[in-house]
Structure 1
Amino acid sequence: MRHLFISRNLAPESPLRAFAKAQGWALTDRSLLTFSPLPYDPPKDADIWFFYSPRAVEFGVGGLRDVTSNPAVAALGKGTATALTEHGITVNFTGTGSPAAVTNQFIHHFESGRVFFPRARQSRLSVQTALPPEFQVMDAVCYDNVPVAEVPQVIADIYVFTSPLNARTYLQTHTLPEKATVVAIGPSTGGELAALRINHHIAASPSEEGIIKLLETLKG
C-alpha cells in the first residue's frame, strides 16, 4: 500500500482524501505549523483588500467587516476566494494562485490604488513587494504562523508540501526516503524545495484538484 503525506489538515469531505481512499492509499494529513490570531488595526481608507490564503481570511475578515468604506476584495486563488464567499464577502478579483502570475493579473485588473494585505507574520510578501508605484501598499500582521514544537517523522511514498514554511519545517528535521515523490502545491513552495535541493513536482494549480491531477500523471 502506498502512503501519501500532506502538510495540511484535510476536511472530512476533502477531494484529496477521497482520491487517496479510491486508490487504496494510506493517508497522513498533518499541518506542521500552529496558528494564532494577532490584534491589528484595519485601515480606514484602503481601496482594495488582498487576501493571500484561507488562513488570512480566517484571521483577517473580521477587520474587513469593521470598516465603513466599501473596498474591493481580491484573493490570491480559488481556495481563498471560496473562504471569502463562505463568510459572505463578495470577491472582485480571483487570481490563479501563482504569485508572479497573480501580480500581473492584479495590476491589469486594478491599475492603481491603496492595497491592504492582512497577512501572516512569516508571509513572503510575494505580491505586495512586486507591485509598481501606482499601488500604495498597506499591510498588517493579523496572525502568527510558527512551526510545531515537535515535528513528527512520516515514512511515506509521496510527500505533498503546502507552503514554504511547512516544507522547511519538515526537511530541516527529517530526511526523505530515497525514492519518495515530492510535490509542491505551488511555485513558492517549489522554490523552497529547490533551495533545499529537493527534486520535486509542482501542481498545475495550487489546490487539491491541482494536486490530484498531478498525482494522476505520476501514478504510472
Structure 2
Amino acid sequence: MLFVSKKVTQPEFLAYVNAAEINMIDTSMISFEAVPIECPESKYEVVFFTSPRSAQFFLNSCEIPHEVEIATIGKVTSDFVETKGYSIAFTGVTSGIPSIVSEEFKAFVGERKVLFPQSNYSQRSMQASLDTHQIIDLVVYKTVLTPIKLIAQPSILVFTSPTNVESFLQLNEVSESQKVIAWGKTTEAFLSKNGIKSDFTLKYSSFEELQKILVQLKANQ
C-alpha cells in the first residue's frame, strides 16, 4: 500500500498505479485558508512564487505590474502562472533542492527587490541567499493542520511537505518497516528533525521521479 500526502491528479502516474495494482491512499493532511491581504505599495522588481497555491491566493487579490518579472520554484508552478496569462522569467530546475534554486535565483535577481507571496508556514528557503533589504514577505494564505488517523499501515509513505509530516505525526507513527520518500530536501530535513530517516528524496519533486523510485522498489522486492 502507498500513502501520498496530497491528492494525485496526474493521469500518467494514476495509470501506472492502476497498471501496477498499487493500493494508494492519496490524501492531504493539511488545508488552506485565504487571509486578508493588502497589495504591496512598495516597489518590487521580481515576484517569486513557491507553489501554484501561493500564486493563486496572490492573484485572487492582486495584479502583477507589467514591468515586474516573475520567478517560480519549478515547472509546475510556472505552468500554472502561465495559464493566468503571464510570462515566466525564471523557473527553478531542481525544485526538490531549494538551496540550489536559491543560489541560481540570487544570480538571476542581482540587487533587485523581490516580493515573496507565501504561507504562514513558509520555510523561506528562497530568501536565504538574498540580502534583507531585497526581501518583501507577504503572507497570502494560512496552512491548517488537518490530521487523519490511517487505519491501514502503508508500506510506502510519501510526504510532500513539512506541514504534512507534522500533521501526520499527530495521529500516526512511522515504523522501521515502512519506506519513506521525501518530496525534496526541505521535507527530508523536517523528517530528520523528527527522528525519521528518508529512504529516498526527490530532486525534481515530480510524479515522474516518484514513479521511477516505485518501479525500483518493486523490482527489488
Q: TM-score, normalised by structure 2?
A: 0.90
Say whether residues 1:208 and 2:207 are aligned partners. yes
Distance 1:189 1:202, change over 3 A: same
CA separation in 1, counterparts of 2:202 and 2:117?
26
Say whether residues 1:106 and 2:97 are aligned partners. no
Report deviation, 1:86. Answer: 1.8
Corresponding residue number in structure 1 for 2:4:
6
2:124 partner amino acid: L
Corresponding residue number in structure 2 for 1:176:
174
The answer on whether the counterparts of 1:76 and 1:102 sit within 8 Å (CA) in structure 2 is: yes
Say whether residues 1:76 and 2:82 are aligned partners. no
Say whether residues 1:160 and 2:132 are aligned partners. no
Corresponding residue number in structure 1 for 2:13:
16
**Aligned pairs (5 A) from 1:77-92:** 77-92=74-89
The answer on whether the counterparts of 2:6 and 2:26 sit within 8 Å (CA) in structure 1 is: yes
CA separation in 1, counterparts of 2:39 and 2:208?
33
CA separation in 2, counterparts of 1:53 and 1:119?
9
- SS across alignment from 1:172: helix
Q: When the two structures are aligned, how many residues end up with a matched partner?
A: 214
Gapped runs of 5+ residues in structure 2?
none
Q: Deviations over 1:52-99 (max 9, x none)?
A: 11111121123442x444200000111111111122221110012121
2:14 partner amino acid: R
**Aligned pairs (5 A) from 1:51-66:** 51-65=49-63
Deviates more, 1:27-36 or 1:207-216: 207-216
CA separation in 2, counterparts of 1:63 and 1:136?
23
Say whether residues 1:38 and 2:35 are aligned partners. yes
The answer on whether the counterparts of 1:54 and 1:80 sit within 8 Å (CA) in structure 2 is: yes
**Aligned pairs (5 A) from 1:111-122:** 111-122=110-121
1:173 partner amino acid: L
Runs of 4 or more off by more than 6 Å in structure 1?
Answer: none
